[in-house]
């Protein structure tokens, strides 16, 4: 930062360079923040703050992967924000769900999973514990390599691999659970009930 | 049943994160193990379901505008506040001032070319007074001395005998002053030695007429007909002046 700010003339230059390398990743940044917060306006706040932080520390950016660098800041911004606004739901969310869904899901069907719609997938992914959700989102929605995910989440490569495996297993169980439940009470008059049951940990709506 | 050591590798295999040998190992295992191959099939289905879905959130336009504005504010507030408090900006003017001072000092205190020259001439003069150093060719005949310089210098110094005026020519030698070989013609005044250094005037005028005193010696500089001269001796200034006038005089 020192050399660019010598006369203050470097500032415009810095902004231009920053925008050129970081603005193209705004969708990725928002997508991650949106999945982490599960809320539009919180995600926007976090992305904006992350961009300001990134701009401040841009002088220290020497790497070649600007997306990973930015996403790491987004993630850190989120965790800081979360500490301040700690919500019960995140805690309830994680382990109970794992217990409930892991073991006794009915016989799986690959074909059935293939037909899972966006809404079912969205709810299932949002119900995943944070540390599973973030690796899954980075892998499946951003198409990031394990190495990049490890950089962003600041964990070893092996941890990325095992979290991803567990995230997918849980996702699968969650989906199958939901689909069998929607299939069963077809006769009943409560088509909304399974959905409400699954999203029990109250999500803040957009 | 699921092979526990395979469960994670299947995902890495699915993601193309395994090296070739490990991939082949997994492929081989999937053929033999129905449980694992079912897990693999499920995960492939799940992945294609995600791929087909519209789960990727795109940044809203409002966010783009907000970030754009916020960054401009941050960039704007970063420079002036920095400039006001940043001591580093003082370095440039300070540095320039210091540099200017140094240059002025260097110019003021630098020994001028002339003063360096006179110093060297005095040294050469003193050296010549040491035994055996005064002359390469002892001769009172200007017609012997002048040709002696031929082939020893790239110029031909005028040599004049002033014996009739009380400044007899006693000889000559080559000397080295200010980075070049010069002619030194030696005269005598009673028991005093006068060295006359002669070299081609480097620039148009050469050193202007000047009289200096240094360490008890007098030096007189002048230029004439493309040659620079310096007469140096410990005789009194009036006599040296007379000597110089005689040399410059009629011709």
Taking only the tens place, the pLDDT of each residue in A135-156 is 999 999 999 999 999 999 999 9
* pLDDT the model gives residue A196: 41
pLDDT score of B226 more than 90: no
Q: Does A1 touch chain B (CB under 8 A)?
A: no
The pLDDT of A118-136, averaged and rounded, is 93
Contact A121 B49 (CB under 8 A): yes
Contact A26 B59 (CB under 8 A): yes
pLDDT, tens only, A50-102 = 999 999 999 888 878 999 999 999 999 999 999 888 755 555 444 444 444 44
Which residues of chain B have a CB within 8 Å of the CB of A164?
Answer: 11, 15
Q: Is residue A204 part of a domain?
A: no
Backbone angles phi, psi at B232, to 5 degrees: -135, 135
pLDDT, tens only, A156-201 = 999 999 999 999 999 999 888 887 777 665 444 444 444 444 444 4
pLDDT band at B108; cut points 50, 70, 90: confident
Q: Which residue out of B7, B10, B15 would a mutagenesis test of the A interface target, given it has the greatest number of A Cβ atoms within 10 Å? A: B15
For chain A positions 122-181, those within 8 Å of chain B (CB to CB) are 122, 125, 139-141, 145-146, 161-162, 164-165, 168-169, 171-172, 175
The pLDDT of B223-250, averaged and rounded, is 89
pLDDT, tens only, A36-55 = 999 999 999 999 999 999 99
Say which range, A54-58, A199-203, B207-211, B226-230, has the weakest mean pLDDT: A199-203
Is there a contact between B200 and B155 (Cβ–Cβ < 8 Å)? yes
The pLDDT of A119-125, averaged and rounded, is 91
Which residues of chain A have a CB within 8 Å of the CB of B63?
Answer: 26, 30, 44, 47-48
Q: Is residue A42 part of a domain?
A: yes
Q: Which residues, 6 or more positions from B63, have their beta carbon under 8 angstroms from its beta carbon?
A: A26, A30, A44, A47, A48
* Structural domain of A26: 10-84
pLDDT score of A2 more than 50: no
Q: Is residue A2 part of a domain?
A: no
Is there a contact between B198 and B102 (Cβ–Cβ < 8 Å)? no
Cα separation, B174 vs B182, in Å, equals 6
Which residues of chain B have a CB within 8 Å of the CB of A48?
Answer: 63, 66-67, 70
Q: Which residue has the higher pLDDT, B96 or A110?
A: B96
Q: Which residue out of A7, A37, A42, A148 would a mutagenesis test of the B interface target, given it has the greatest number of B Cβ atoms within 10 Å? A: A7
* pLDDT the model gives residue B15: 93
A170 shares a domain with A110:
yes
Q: Is residue A61 part of a domain?
A: yes
pLDDT score of B4 more than 60: yes
Contact B89 A7 (CB under 8 A): yes
A98 shares a domain with A76:
no
pLDDT score of A23 more than 60: yes
Q: Of A42, A62, A84, at which residue does a domain stop? A: A84
Q: Is residue A169 part of a domain?
A: yes
Contact B44 A40 (CB under 8 A): no
Domain of residue A77, CATH code: 1.10.1740.10
A159 shares a domain with A94:
yes
Report all structural domains of chain B as residue ranges with CATH numbers, in order of start: 7-51 (no CATH), 113-248 (3.30.200.100)
Domain of residue A125, CATH code: 1.10.10.10
A192 shares a domain with A96:
yes
* pLDDT the model gives residue A90: 53
A144 shares a domain with A121:
yes
A128 shares a domain with A50:
no
* pLDDT the model gives residue A125: 94
User: Among residues of chain A, what percentage have pLDDT more than 90?
Assistant: 52
Which residues of chain A have a CB within 8 Å of the CB of B60?
Answer: 30, 40, 44
Q: Of A84, A111, A143, at which residue does a domain stop? A: A84
Cα separation, B21 vs B30, in Å, equals 14
Q: What is the DSSP string of chain A?
A: -TTTTSSSTHHHHHHHHHHHHHGGGHHHHHHHHHHHH--HHHHHHHHHHHHHHHHHTGGG---S-HHHHHHHHHHHHHHHHHHHT--HHHHHHHHHHHHHHHS-PPPP-HHHHHT--HHHHHHHHHTS-HHHHHHHIIIIIT---HHHHHHHHT--HHHHHHHHHHHHHHHHHHHHHHHHHHHGGGSSS-TTHHHHHHT-SPPPP-
Q: Which residue has the higher pLDDT, A202 or B77?
A: B77
Q: Is residue A16 part of a domain?
A: yes
A61 shares a domain with A97:
no
Nearest CA distance, A101 vs chain B (angstrom): 16
Say which range, A6-15, A50-59, B65-74, B185-194, has the weakest mean pLDDT: A6-15
Q: Which residue out of A9, A11, A29, A163 would a mutagenesis test of the B interface target, given it has the greatest number of B Cβ atoms within 10 Å? A: A11
User: Among residues of chain B, what percentage have pLDDT more than 90?
Assistant: 35
Q: Is residue A158 part of a domain?
A: yes
Q: Of A46, A67, A84, at which residue does a domain stop? A: A84
Average pLDDT, chain A: 79
Nearest CA distance, A8 vs chain B (angstrom): 5
Average pLDDT, chain B: 85
A183 shares a domain with A93:
yes
A172 shares a domain with A128:
yes
Report the DSSP beta bridge partners of residue B186.
Answer: B171, B195
* pLDDT the model gives residue A112: 75
A168 shares a domain with A102:
yes
pLDDT score of A24 more than 60: yes
A99 shares a domain with A194:
yes
Say which range, B40-54, B74-88, B165-179, B224-238, has the weakest mean pLDDT: B74-88
pLDDT, tens only, B146-169 = 889 988 888 899 998 898 889 999
Is there a contact between A182 and A193 (Cβ–Cβ < 8 Å)? no
Q: Which residue out of B7, B45, B88, B91 would a mutagenesis test of the A interface target, given it has the greatest number of A Cβ atoms within 10 Å? A: B45
* pLDDT the model gives residue A148: 95
The structural domain count of chain A equals: 2
Nearest CA distance, A187 vs chain B (angstrom): 27
Q: Is residue A125 part of a domain?
A: yes
- Of A42-51, B75-84, B194-203, the range with the highest mean pLDDT is A42-51
Structure tokens at A152: 């962003």
Nearest CA distance, B211 vs chain A (angstrom): 53
A167 shares a domain with A145:
yes
Cα separation, A181 vs A193, in Å, equals 9
pLDDT score of B187 more than 90: yes
Neighbours of B237 (CB within 10 A): 12
* pLDDT the model gives residue A190: 46
Closest among B169, B116, B70, B8 to A168, alpha carbons compared:
B8
* pLDDT the model gives residue B112: 72
Which residues of chain A have a CB within 8 Å of the CB of B43?
Answer: 168, 172
Q: Which residues, 6 or more positions from A71, have their beta carbon under 8 angstroms from its beta carbon?
A: A25, A28, A29, A32, A138, A142, A152
């Amino acid at each position: 930062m020192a050399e660019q700010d010598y006369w203050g003339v470097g500032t415009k230059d810095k902004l231009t360079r920053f925008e050129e390398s970081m603005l193209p990743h705004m969708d990725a940044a928002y997508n991650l923040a949106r999945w982490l917060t599960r809320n539009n306006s919180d995600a926007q706040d976090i992305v904006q703050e992350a961009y300001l932080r990134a701009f401040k520390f841009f002088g220290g950016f020497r790497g070649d992967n600007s997306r990973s660098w930015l996403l790491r800041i987004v993630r850190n911004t989120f965790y800081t924000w979360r500490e301040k606004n700690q919500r019960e739901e995140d805690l309830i969310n994680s382990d109970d769900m794992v217990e409930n869904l892991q073991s006794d899901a009915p016989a799986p069907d690959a074909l059935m999973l293939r037909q899972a719609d966006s809404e079912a997938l969205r709810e299932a992914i949002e119900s995943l514990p944070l540390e599973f959700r973030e690796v899954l989102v980075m892998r499946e929605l951003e198409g990031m390599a394990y190495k990049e995910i490890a950089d962003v989440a600041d964990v070893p490569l092996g941890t990325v691999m095992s979290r991803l495996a567990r995230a997918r297993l849980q996702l699968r169980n969650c989906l199958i659970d939901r689909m069998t439940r929607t299939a069963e009470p077809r006769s009943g008059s409560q088509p909304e009930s399974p959905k409400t049951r699954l999203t029990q940990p109250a999500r803040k709506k957009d | 049943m699921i092979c526990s050591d395979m469960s994670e590798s299947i995902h890495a295999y699915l993601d193309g994160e395994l090296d070739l040998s490990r991939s082949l190992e997994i492929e081989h295992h999937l053929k033999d193990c129905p449980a694992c191959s079912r897990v693999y099939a499920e995960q492939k289905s799940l992945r294609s379901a995600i791929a087909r879905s519209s789960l990727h959130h795109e940044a809203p336009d409002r966010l783009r505008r907000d970030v754009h504005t916020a960054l401009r504010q941050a960039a704007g507030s970063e420079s002036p506040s920095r400039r006001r408090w940043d001591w580093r900006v003082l370095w440039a003017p300070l540095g320039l001032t210091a540099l200017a001072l140094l240059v002025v000092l260097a110019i003021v205190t630098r020994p001028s070319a002339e003063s360096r020259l006179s110093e060297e001439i005095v040294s050469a003069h003193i050296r010549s007074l040491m035994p055996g150093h005064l002359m390469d060719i002892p001769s009172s005949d200007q017609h012997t001395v002048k040709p002696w310089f031929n082939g020893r210098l790239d110029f031909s110094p005028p040599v004049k005998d002033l014996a009739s005026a009380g400044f007899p020519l006693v000889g000559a030698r080559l000397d080295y002053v200010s980075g070049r070989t010069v002619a030194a013609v030696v005269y005598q005044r009673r028991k005093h030695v006068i060295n006359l250094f002669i070299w081609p005037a480097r620039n148009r005028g050469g050193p202007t007429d000047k009289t200096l005193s240094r360490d008890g010696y007098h030096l007189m500089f002048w230029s004439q007909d493309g040659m620079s001269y310096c007469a140096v001796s410990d005789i009194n200034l009036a006599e040296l002046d007379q000597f110089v006038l005689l040399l410059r005089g009629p011709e």
